[in-house]
Amino acid sequence: MSRRSLVIDTDTASDDAVALLLAGRDPEVDIRLVTIVAGNVPVDLGTRNALVTLDLLGLTDVPVHVGADRPLARSLETAQMVHGADGMGGADLPAPSRAPDSEDAVAALVDVATTEPGQHALVTLGPLTNVARALAEDPDLLTRFTHTYLMAGSPDGVGNVNPLGEYNVWADPEAATAVFDAPGPRTMIGWNISRTQAVMTPPETARLRDCGPLGEFAVAINADVERFCLETSGLAGMDLPDPVAMAVALDDSIILEATDECLVIGLDEPTRGAVLPDRRAHPGPATTRVVWSVDEAAFKDRLYTACTGDVLRGPPSPT
């Protein structure tokens, strides 16, 4: 089996860090580079959290590039009320071992897509500001990736910021519009999946903690998320939207149901952040694969496996 390579754009807070863990622990996957966008937390905290997570995984050679510190046309409104002031649930974490790379995230995205076309998949875990800015420089950007996987939207019409809007799209809907309008193959894994099919109940969280140091890390950094989900979202445990999206990017055989859709995005209240299928008789082109159902057991088994053991990363498998 040939190795796969990912470019990951993230607003690194607690669930993003677990998504990085899933990718970093997959023996058949390389992380080519990570770009940081403001979202869950300000961009400086997102950068710190990404570097600390990569340190934990032994991936100190993965380039990390700092990107947009605010949305295209709006003020930044973070999700620190969900993830904690530091984005990592107040967990006791060491300082990162290095500084980020000097190249801007947008330039890094354009460079890697242009100089290494067809070699990497793009996985987005936060607001789409960096990707939209890169598209402004290269409108064919997404066609140069093998596929784009987007943790974005909530196509069943249940939002987590307002009645319809999902945070990553709500935070910068103009950027999301640019990305969803761009050419190139893509899959959207919305908040609906983690809300309905991938909630970690307290017994499952305990099992994750028992997996070892990485499991303890995954649980500790999501302490505020778990409280928010139980007390505010009304879920039976913590949801992990970014890890679910990453799991699909790593192995899309876990998809049980998906449809190709023409999507519309809400820009202003009360629909800001909505990403909904146009089901009229003659909508526009169906350009996005929307995931409706995944194999929950397969996702959780992947998470337990990634968090098991003391070895942070083994040697690459033969190609």
- Give the residue among 36, 43, 265 at the shortest CA–CA distance from 130: 36
Q: Where are the beta strands (DSSP E) in the chain?
A: 4-10, 29-36, 64-66, 121-124, 148-151, 186-189, 255-261, 263-265, 275-277, 288-294
CA-based Rg of the chain, rounded to a whole angstrom? 18
The pLDDT tens digits of the residues spanning 53-71 come to 999 999 999 999 999 999 9
Of 23-37, 141-155, 222-236, the poorest mean pLDDT is in 222-236
pLDDT of 275 above 80: yes
Could you tell me the end-to-end alpha-carbon distance of the chain, in angstroms, rounded to an integer? 6
Q: Residue 27: is its pLDDT beyond 80?
A: yes
Average the pLDDT over 100-113 and give the result: 98
pLDDT for 283: 83
Q: What whole-number distance in Å separates Cα of residue 105 and Cα of residue 109?
A: 6
92 HSE (CA, 13 A, CB side)? 0
- Alpha-carbon distances, residue 186 vs 64, 244, 261, 297 (angstroms): 23, 16, 11, 24
Query: What's the token pair of residue 218?
Result: 């995954």
Dihedral, CA of residue 233, residue 198, residue 64 and residue 7, to nearest 10: -130
Q: How far is CA 180 from the centre of its chain?
A: 16
- The pLDDT value recorded for residue 3 is 86
Distance CA 4, CA 49 (A): 24
The pLDDT tens digits for 299-315 are 999 999 999 975 444 33
Token pair of 193 as six digits: 């999946």
Residue 310 pLDDT: 55
What mean pLDDT comes out for the span 71-78? Answer: 98
Name the band, by pLDDT with cuts 50, 70 and 90, for residue 256: very high
pLDDT band at 317 (very low <50, low <70, confident <90, very high): very low
pLDDT value at position 314?
38
Distances (CA, A) of 137 to 29, 42, 125, 133, 273: 28, 24, 21, 7, 24
Lowest average pLDDT, out of 78-82, 146-150, 183-187, 283-287, goes to 283-287
Instruction: Tell me what the mean pLDDT of segment 192-221 comes to.
Output: 94
Dist CA 15 CA 48 (whole Å): 15
Task: Enumerate residues 6+ apart whose C-beta is below 8 A from 275.
Answer: 152, 153, 154, 155, 166, 169, 176, 180, 188, 190, 263, 264, 265, 266
Q: Distance (Å, rounded) from C-alpha 191 to C-alpha 111?
A: 30
Which CATH number is correct for 4-306, 3.90.245.10, 3.30.70.380, 3.40.50.10860, 3.40.50.1950? 3.90.245.10
Q: Is the pLDDT of residue 17 over 50?
A: yes
Determine the average pLDDT of the residues in 95-111.
97
Average pLDDT over residues 91-113: 97
Query: Residue 273 CB: number of other CB atoms within 10 A?
Result: 27
Give the global pTM.
0.95
302, HSE (Cβ side, Cα atoms, 13 Å): 28
Three-state DSSP state, 197? helix
Task: Give CA–CA dist 278/152, Å, rounded.
Answer: 17
SS3 319: coil
pLDDT at 79 over 70: yes
| Tokens encoding 125 | 């875990």
230 or 221: which carries more pLDDT confidence? 221
Regarding beta strands 4-10 and 64-66, do their DSSP bridges make them parallel or antiparallel, or are they unpaired? Answer: unpaired
SS3 58: coil
Q: In the predicted model, what is the mean pLDDT of residues 223-246?
A: 92
